Structure 1
Amino acid sequence: MGRFRKLETLEDYQRALKNNYGLGEADTYMPWLRVQDVNSAGNSGKIDGIKSNRVHHTLSEQESCFFYLVEFCDPVIDIREQFPLLPLDLSVRLAKTLDVDHPINPMTKEKCFNVMTTDFLLTLTDGTKTWYEAISVKPADDLKDKRTAEKLDIERVWWQLQGVVFHIFSMTEQSQIQSRNIQWFTSPYRQGSNFQNDIIEKAKSIVKLGTNLIEDLCNEFIRELNVEHDDALVLLKVLLATKQIRVDLTKPIAESGILQVVKVARQVGEQQNAS
């Protein structure tokens, strides 16, 4: 993918669609907006997806927080960020019906409507049926703003017409702690770290329900499994990332050095939902 793309005119939008932006699923999806395409408020990022096998583009700390949380949820099987509300004339008509102004591009001399995007479109399954949910990520303070509420109304009705439930997510202190925990222990797994099944099984047998000190677990891995010092913590993180051990995510893990283990999978491949 190239660097900055201009998205100001109808011709730009048509070119983006021709190049498959905003189209596809899983590893074929390309977000309508990428980190390099916008001036974000900071803390934007590119995250290697575990489930999608592609890079995800988040445009704020709040979006990154939400991404880590939902990707760790078993029912979520695909995440499409910066999803475009197309065709454009539908959102324009909805804005007119709601008697609110449709977003326009302030950089153009002539009035040019912007393609609106929803921060995340999730695909979920319960093993029997599959459905979609759309999420707008907004700081709680922004929800008090009238203009923000107007744009959210356009999004809500747009998704309602598609038969998709629309949610609003605002980061809290608790969700931020959970997200940072997930980010911490999934990082090596996102970069390709993994271990043979026999090592995983032996490591799981060392982990006990209840309170475990990370340093003590790593030392036992080194002693009992003959793994290198640097690999011991990576092994523990992989156990967490693959849900071979399930822990309380409501307390900071890296800072405390403590794992509150609530369940250990019985065999390789058995996964447990995160709290």
Structure 2
Amino acid sequence: MEVNSYYEASAKVQKWLREGRGQGIGVEYIPWTKTSDFSSLGRATRLKGTKIPRIYHLQSDIQYRAFLLFEFQNFFDVRESYPLLDVMETIDAKENLRFDKFRDKETNEPYVITTNFLLTLKDSRGKEKYIARTVKNTSELKRKITWEKLEIERRYWSQKNIDWKLITEKELPRQLAKNLEWVRETFFEVEMDKEAFSIELFRELHQNGDQPVSLILKSFDKQKKLDKGSGLFLFRFLIAKKEIQINMYKVIDLSLSFDDLRN
């Protein structure tokens, strides 16, 4: 990534660049800031990805919830804490932007402006498209400095012709995060041939769609001589793989019939 003179005098920036921060794609990407760099105002989280098996560094609860959603969606790559190292050269109209507010008070070195997530989509022909997303709690939007940083981000991505949007906790409810956590865990457990058994469960669910899901799963365990709870695990796995579609924004009520749960 190109770095202009605005940042190149910073010893910290040069050190982090040598470490590979803010560079690479996929499993090779290293976020600009890591959870160990400074204390977070929220709950910092480190977790392994399901699509790309690297450790992701998320600085707050809302970033964690956003990551769970992005990973569940059809994004090819998710890069967190993406640095705008060429920000001064990229933005043309910057006279009224308060870059002076984003400096270390002791050293006067400029802070590197980052965007929470740079997402990559791939179409059927393999062509890539980038999308940038910033996540903030609505309480943060009461601060003028927050809006000043958001405006820098908005202009930066606009000049790069990359779609950028702000997301708040209103688009990332806790129930959605709970459901996404509940299903993604199945990617990391390999106690059974879940690919083969999930195909069989998929068939059972559709053949008995008018029955409560809990009864279908219990019957499946007994029929296949599996340990108790195996059917539920496979049901979660099918959701994680998007083989079955349900509303992830609501509580998943297994007392409902499979047909009703999907509606």
Residues 115, 173 of structure 1: alpha-carbon distance in 2 compared, 3 angstrom cutoff: closer
Q: How big is the shift at 1:23?
A: 0.5
In the other structure, the counterpart of 1:143 is 141
Residues 20, 186 of structure 1: alpha-carbon distance in 2 compared, 3 angstrom cutoff: same
Distance 2:209 2:250 in 1: 14
Residues 120, 173 of structure 1: alpha-carbon distance in 2 compared, 3 angstrom cutoff: closer
8 Å contact kept, 1:247–1:259: no
Distance 2:86 2:244 in 1: 45
8 Å contact kept, 2:31–2:81: yes
Distance 2:192 2:78 in 1: 23
In the other structure, the counterpart of 1:117 is 114
SS of the residue 1:134 aligns to: strand
1:231 partner amino acid:
S
In the other structure, the counterpart of 2:231 is 232
1:66 partner amino acid:
A
2:245 partner amino acid:
R
TM-score, length-normalised on structure 1?
A: 0.81
- Aligned residues: percent identity? 26
Residues 233, 134 of structure 1: alpha-carbon distance in 2 compared, 3 angstrom cutoff: same
8 Å contact kept, 2:97–2:152: no
Cα deviation 1:138-194 (Å, max 9, x = unaligned)? 112322321110111111111122221111000127633222211111112145566
In the other structure, the counterpart of 1:78 is 77
Structure 1 unaligned segments of length 5 or more: list them: 1-8, 264-273
In the other structure, the counterpart of 2:95 is 97
SS of the residue 1:36 aligns to: coil
2:27 partner amino acid:
D
1:13 partner amino acid:
V
In the other structure, the counterpart of 1:23 is 23
Distance 2:257 2:80 in 1: 32
1:180 partner amino acid:
K
In the other structure, the counterpart of 2:198 is 200
In the other structure, the counterpart of 1:152 is 150
In the other structure, the counterpart of 2:123 is 126
Report whether the alignment pairs 1:184 with 2:182. yes
8 Å contact kept, 2:65–2:172: no
- Structure having the higher strand fraction is 1
Q: How big is the shift at 1:113?
A: 0.5
Report whether the alignment pairs 1:219 with 2:218. yes
Number of residue pairs aligned between Structure 1 and Structure 2: 252
Cα deviation 1:20-78 (Å, max 9, x = unaligned)? 1110001000101111112112222112211122111111111111111111112x110
Residues 27, 99 of structure 1: alpha-carbon distance in 2 compared, 3 angstrom cutoff: closer
2:120 partner amino acid:
T
Cα deviation 1:196-232 (Å, max 9, x = unaligned)? 5431221111214867645323312211222111433
Structure 2 unaligned segments of length 5 or more: list them: 1-8
Distance 2:184 2:191 in 1: 10
Distance 2:180 2:239 in 1: 9
8 Å contact kept, 1:202–1:225: no
SS of the residue 2:76 aligns to: strand
Residues 100, 232 of structure 1: alpha-carbon distance in 2 compared, 3 angstrom cutoff: same
8 Å contact kept, 2:136–2:167: yes
SS of the residue 1:98 aligns to: coil
In the other structure, the counterpart of 2:4 is none
8 Å contact kept, 2:198–2:235: no
TM-score, length-normalised on structure 2?
A: 0.84
Distance 1:185 1:27 in 2: 22
* Structural RMSD (CA): 2.9
